[in-house]
Amino acid sequence: MYHSHSYQDEAFGVFVSFLRNVINGDQKYAELILPIITDAHELATGEKTYFTINRDNYTIITFLVESSKDYFQTLNTGNIIKSDYQRILEVVSSQRELVFA
Amino acid sequence: MVSPFYNILKLHLAQAEFALEKAKNNTYSDKRKEEYQDKLSLLFCEIKKSVANDDTISEAEIYDQYKRHIDFIFKSLEFLDSSTLNQIPYEIVECLDYAMKDWLTSGNEYVIVTSLINNVGGFSFDPTLAYSETIYNEIKTKYSIEFNCRLVQINLPRALVRDYLSSVVLYHELGHFIDMKFKFTESLTREILDNVTGINTIDTVEVDRLLYYFPYLTQFRGINTQLSTTNQYFWATANHLGEFFCDLFASQYISDSSNFYLQYLTEDNRNYTGSHPSTNFRVNVVNDFLNKIDNILVNRINKAIASINGMALEIRSEEVLMDDFFNLLPANVANLKQLHGLFNTGWKIWLNEQSRLSKSLNDQYTAPVRLHNVINNLIEKSIANFITQLRWEKAKPKE
């Protein structure tokens, strides 16, 4: 039995809720999201590979880069602002809808 | 006026409180499970306190901030409730635990819990509470509560709970959990697809060798466009690689024990499906690995494993002599490799030496059910003796 699809869905659900919490001002969640966004940036720029990005958040990281590689290449991970979180939430929401369309 | 969703959240909390109260009667063989349950109670108190001060919370905030954590309490209790002292098939769990520890060498502790289900084909692992650290990090950040271990659930068919021959498939299922933790085959899928499409060029002979195992990818050869993760062929390849990996993972411990059984269960299916490769490919890859024959899939999987955690697929079992079994005695297991090797010994006797075992029993037990019972008892006692001895060695005072 291969469970990955349902667990991936759950992982995305959690990531989206983290993003919403940060956008609503709960900064505790920013520190949970930052490693994911940083790995997405480093995968997009080639500093990391599919074999070296974080294993826990692998599915989300690869999805973000596949959906919006140009954006993550140029993202300044040292200074992520509210509009970045909103943009990432948009990427995840719209692309996930496409996947399930 | 409070919203209906706030009241439903309170209902959810009441249900959790009731479930936690009921779980207080659980008796576990492992102290870590007790500690885990105590942490759940602590988490519940924190959530309850927070919810009580938050009656203006919106529906979306209820989902984002509380519901997931109460769901976590329920899922944990589901795992713990079915893993109490009188239900655990202790011997097989110990063997799997040793195999799991080979691979999860650092970081958190993983505790195997079991659930007996009414489905004779229902061997599986449920890694819901262990495949990711995200929820634990969130709970730690939000409530300052740290869980000491992660629960990994094994589902066993109630009818086969002490069947040590069919239990070998659990090593394959453990492979799925390990693969999910490290994403070996998902990462490799991307690399292989990039090789086939030509985005990441490799020798054409090597592409031919890959396409032998993934013939449906021939249509994408050299297209120079990346296959998206939404493409069904991406998932077919990922699923097939996952199955190949798990067969190889299991064979490290149980050798070729499950080959014939797999052929029997799949009726020797020579066609692939979206989720599984053909059975003959699966058996051939395992045989190549065990016989040290050069195989592109074994090589590529090993390369991926090395890149990710520095390990490799290797033979992690040793043959156990059958003589003790023919004398109707538990085998003298010398080390962990032989502990895993017991399963292969059991299978070899079942497949090739039934008449010899029958003779040992003075031909009193020629009925399959009697032979099956004898083999199961011998394997079980051999495992139990080894574990007791190992614990005694650890516990006895140092001279």
pLDDT single digits (tens) B122-174: 888 888 898 888 899 999 999 999 998 999 988 888 889 889 999 999 999 99
Closest approach of B93 to chain A, Cα-based (Å): 19
Categorize the per-residue pLDDT at A1 as very low, low, confident or very high, splitting at 50, 70 and 90.
very low
CA–CA separation, B361 and B368 (whole Å): 13
Q: What pLDDT digit, counting tens, does each position of B98-122 carry?
A: 999 999 987 778 998 888 889 988 8
Q: Is the pLDDT of residue B87 over 70?
A: no
Same domain for B205 and B83, yes or no, is no
Range of the domain at B377: 323-395
CA–CA separation, B123 and B246 (whole Å): 14
- Count of CB atoms within 10 A of residue B322's CB? 17
Do residue A20 and residue B64 have CB atoms under 8 angstroms apart?
yes
In a domain, B289, yes or no: yes
What is the per-residue pLDDT for B190? 95
In this complex, which of B141, B243, B307 lies closest to A31 when CB atoms are compared?
A: B141
Residues in chain B with CB shorter than 8 Å from the CB of A14 are 68, 134-135, 138
The arithmetic mean of pLDDT across residues B74-87, rounded, is 82
In a domain, B282, yes or no: yes
Same domain for B19 and B116, yes or no, is yes
In a domain, B314, yes or no: no
Q: What pLDDT digit, counting tens, does each position of B295-340 carry?
A: 999 999 999 999 999 999 999 999 999 999 999 999 999 999 999 9
Same domain for B190 and B281, yes or no, is yes
Same domain for B175 and B257, yes or no, is no
What is the per-residue pLDDT for A97? 60
Closest approach of B187 to chain A, Cα-based (Å): 6
End position of a domain, from candidates B281, B309, B337: B309
Best of B124, B145, B229 to substitute, by most chain A Cβ atoms within 10 angstroms, is: B229
Best of A8, A32, A50 to substitute, by most chain B Cβ atoms within 10 angstroms, is: A50
- ipTM of this predicted structure: 0.87
Nearest CA in chain B to A6: B128
For all residues of chain B together, what is the average pLDDT?
Answer: 92
In a domain, B315, yes or no: no
Residues in chain A with CB shorter than 8 Å from the CB of B304 are 51
Number of domains in chain B: 3
CA–CA separation, A7 and A59 (whole Å): 10
Residue showing tokens 């070729």: B256
Closest approach of B63 to chain A, Cα-based (Å): 8
Nearest CA in chain A to B136: A32
In this complex, which of A1, A2, A50 lies closest to B187 when CB atoms are compared?
A: A50
Q: Is the pLDDT of residue A3 over 50?
A: no
End position of a domain, from candidates B255, B282, B309: B309
Categorize the per-residue pLDDT at A4 as very low, low, confident or very high, splitting at 50, 70 and 90.
very low
Same domain for B27 and B172, yes or no, is yes
Closest approach of B188 to chain A, Cα-based (Å): 8
